[in-house]
Structure 1
Amino acid sequence: MKNITTFIITLLFIACGNQENKSESVKETETNSNIITISKQQFESEKMAFGELTEHQFYNTVKTTGIIDVPPENKASVSTFMGGYVTKIPLLIGDKVKKGQLVASLQNPEFIEIQQNYLEISAQLSYLKNEFERQKTLYNEQITSEKNYLKAESTYKSNLATFNGLRKKLQMMNLNPANIEKGEISSTINLYAPIDGFVTKVDVSNGSYISSANEVLEIINTDHIHLELNVFEKDILKIKKDQKIQFRIPEASTETFEAEVYLVGTFVNTDRTIKVHGHINHDENTNFITGMFIEAAIIYGENKEISLPKSAILNNENNAFVFVLKNENKDAYIFEKIKITTQLEDENFIQIENHQSLKDKKILIEGLSMF
């Protein structure tokens, strides 16, 4: 019994000692909560990496949005001067066309009537001209009256005006008056591409009737695409010609492209924005499409600041921290978590205001996802 009692007392003393050691260990962990130990094996497996403070170029920018567009002369709407039924529409959206290429054919009995009227007046005009000149000669010789002379002049000039009007109308319908004068009458007219480019819209089909108010198709030449940006009134005084623009197309790519400010608008729109026109410095292989929505930053100033990659920053409850190497041994790295204040930032870097305490220190810049 004596031995059993002694054994139990010994166990109680050991348990109390372990509890005291555990309490001291917790206290020490809480006291040193900013000290973190990472094994070298874990450092490698998590693909962690060291870095240092660096001087990085930050840009002062005006953030804006807009679209990719083309100048008005690079956009053409193909329509007809006279209505008709579509008999041929050989193009699809996306087809490339050359200036003067056939894009549609229309048919209408009215086309025949116009050509008939032109031929009739053309036949009469020669006679009326001769009659006018004859009456003029007789009047000058005082053989005929002024009334006959003026009547012949009026009839000739009236028909001449009608003749010239019909001739111009035929030319606008892409019909050759010389061929019509030979008796070649057609019930069909052709529409041709006014510019080089790509078909972006087709609004008709075979057999449909279109009037002069309807658009047959649209052609856009993308050789001179540009940016049309909307800059708010409060920022417009910062914008000048030749400033650099960085832009991206969020719906299509994460890549950033470059452009330059070419024109700054002089009119404030109802939404208090001003149009800014930018020329794109793009690779010939980049296939921008008109109408694409873009996000852009116009650079109006720049300055170098002490910074770190964003991957080196741990954000926690509106506070920012970095991990600085405090010590190392054979098996582990010992880091100290230090609070920092930040200022400027861009896509990859962030300015460190209290950088003096981090000078010449090794800083953990990769692998913070585990914290």
Structure 2
Amino acid sequence: MKHLYFIIFAVLITACGNDNNNTSEPISTDEGDHDHISITKTQFESEKMVFGSLTELDFNESIKVNGIIDVPPQSKSSISTFISGYITNTPLLIGSEVKKGQLLVTLQNPEYIEIQQNYLEVTEQLNYLKSEFNRQKTLFDEQITSEKNYLKAKSLYKSNLAHYNGLRKKLQMMNISPKRVEQGQISSTINLYAPISGTVSKVNISNGTYVSPSDVILELVNTDHIHLELAVFEKDIMNVKKGQQIRFKIPEASKDTFDAEIHLVGTTIDAETRRVQVHGHVENEDSNFIVGMFVEAEIITESTKKLSLPKEAIIPLEDGNYVLALDEENEDVFHLKKIKVNLGKQTEDAAEILNTDDLKNKQILIKGIGMLLNESEGGHSH
């Protein structure tokens, strides 16, 4: 049985070669010799076969983890108001791009008018109380008035000054100019502006909505500095270090593989999941990543170079794995020899060859075998 697979393989090459070019010579094999096969160059070309040799390749020891695409805390902003009001203007939608300082929403509330009126009144009182304080201080210094009158004037002035400074700061937090209020320009509305540049990721309001300080009105995200947030199991964390390479995929959005590097390793374990957060910097931030995307990742903990062959070059038989090596080349024919190989580490596309001395300086058939083997498993007809 162990020779039958190889015999079928040889017959298939002959059959396919004859179909593709009826003038080509059939494959020849020595009677009873199942370790050698000859292929005409016409058949070689028609089957799109390719010779290659042992190639040095990186074989990695890795840890498989999951995580998400995220951004640093300073690249996110939840917009709220510290004083309640009704939304009167909200020109933005989810996905809208904004610049730092751009108008986001406008709110209205009669209370805003009262605050400005109070500020004006306190400002006027402050001017009088300051003048009175200075007068009482002069009189006290000249021993014309009592200390009681002086201290009373001082107390009233300092108290009013604190009230003035508090209201002034409150106006600034409401994005209302104290100077404009002092000029008599009182407004019933306030504006909220973007604290960062970015994209609107969430809108929780519409015109007429009443919002309080505890309500999040909008959320902004700046994706200029995308990174990975990975969760590593407790049993693997001792092998994870800053600077290690990360290869990751976004299975729901792309078949591509992307590169990143570990930037920070958490120092605490989540009590419920028994995992540690690992922060990775993405090498190509220009990709269309979206915050919150699920990622499947491999953290490369060790990488060694080994001599290898493509998996397509390897023929699995009952007694082991084999390759076809060029034994001799004539004008029109390739004479191939079946050589057993011992496999080591493997990737998705390649396998480490342990007995490299057996294949040293040899040309190996690395392409065109897989199709024939698939045909032998499913039948071959013409």
Bin of the TM-score, shorter chain as denominator length: 0.7 to 0.9
Residues 273 and 316 of structure 1: CA distance in aligned 2, closer, same or farther (over 3 Å): farther
Matched letter for residue 369 of structure 1: N
Mapped contact 2:224–2:285 kept (Cα < 8 A): no
Instruction: Map 1:1-371 to 2 at 5 A.
Output: 32=4, 34-36=6-8, 37-42=11-16, 47=47, 49-52=49-52, 54-55=54-55, 56-270=57-271, 271-282=273-284, 284=286, 286-313=287-314, 321-322=321-322, 324=324, 342-353=343-354, 360=362, 362-363=364-365, 365-366=367-368, 367=371, 368-370=373-375, 371=377
Provide Cα deviations, 1:226-272, integer angstroms capped at 9, x if missing partner. 11222223322333332222212111111111122222222222222
Q: Which of the pair has more CA radius of gyration?
A: 1
Mapped contact 1:34–1:336 kept (Cα < 8 A): no
Residues 160 and 179 of structure 1: CA distance in aligned 2, closer, same or farther (over 3 Å): same
Structure 1: tracts of 5 or more residues without a match: 1-28
Percent sequence identity over aligned pairs: 52
Residues 118 and 316 of structure 1: CA distance in aligned 2, closer, same or farther (over 3 Å): farther
Provide Cα deviations, 1:102-146, integer angstroms capped at 9, x if missing partner. 010000111111111111111111111111222222222333222
Residues 31 and 70 of structure 1: CA distance in aligned 2, closer, same or farther (over 3 Å): closer
Provide Cα deviations, 1:22-52, integer angstroms capped at 9, x if missing partner. xxxxxxx897454222144525869563545
**Residues of 2 paired with 1:280 and 1:243: CA distance?**
12
Mapped contact 2:248–2:297 kept (Cα < 8 A): yes
Residues 255 and 226 of structure 1: CA distance in aligned 2, closer, same or farther (over 3 Å): same
Q: Deviation of residue 175 (structure 1)? A: 0.3
Deviates more, 1:31-40 or 1:125-134: 31-40
Matched letter for residue 60 of structure 2: Y
Q: Deviation of residue 163 (structure 1)? A: 0.8
Residues 310 and 30 of structure 1: CA distance in aligned 2, closer, same or farther (over 3 Å): closer
Q: CA RMSD in A?
A: 3.2
**Residues of 2 paired with 1:253 and 1:101: CA distance?**
34
Could you say which residue in structure 2 is the equivalent of 1:18? none
Instruction: Give the match's secondary structure for 1:234.
Output: coil
Could you say which residue in structure 2 is the equivalent of 1:26? none
Instruction: Give the match's secondary structure for 2:12.
Output: strand
Residues 152 and 263 of structure 1: CA distance in aligned 2, closer, same or farther (over 3 Å): same
Residues 34 and 189 of structure 1: CA distance in aligned 2, closer, same or farther (over 3 Å): same
Mapped contact 1:89–1:206 kept (Cα < 8 A): yes
Residues 140 and 320 of structure 1: CA distance in aligned 2, closer, same or farther (over 3 Å): farther
Instruction: Give the match's secondary structure for 1:155.
Output: helix
Residues 364 and 242 of structure 1: CA distance in aligned 2, closer, same or farther (over 3 Å): closer
Residues 183 and 314 of structure 1: CA distance in aligned 2, closer, same or farther (over 3 Å): farther
TM, length-normalised to structure 2: 0.79
Q: Deviation of residue 295 (structure 1)? A: 1.5
Deviates more, 1:227-236 or 1:358-367: 358-367
Residues 145 and 257 of structure 1: CA distance in aligned 2, closer, same or farther (over 3 Å): same
Matched letter for residue 49 of structure 1: M
The aligned length equals 341
**Residues of 1 paired with 2:3 and 2:177: CA distance?**
97
TM, length-normalised to structure 1: 0.81
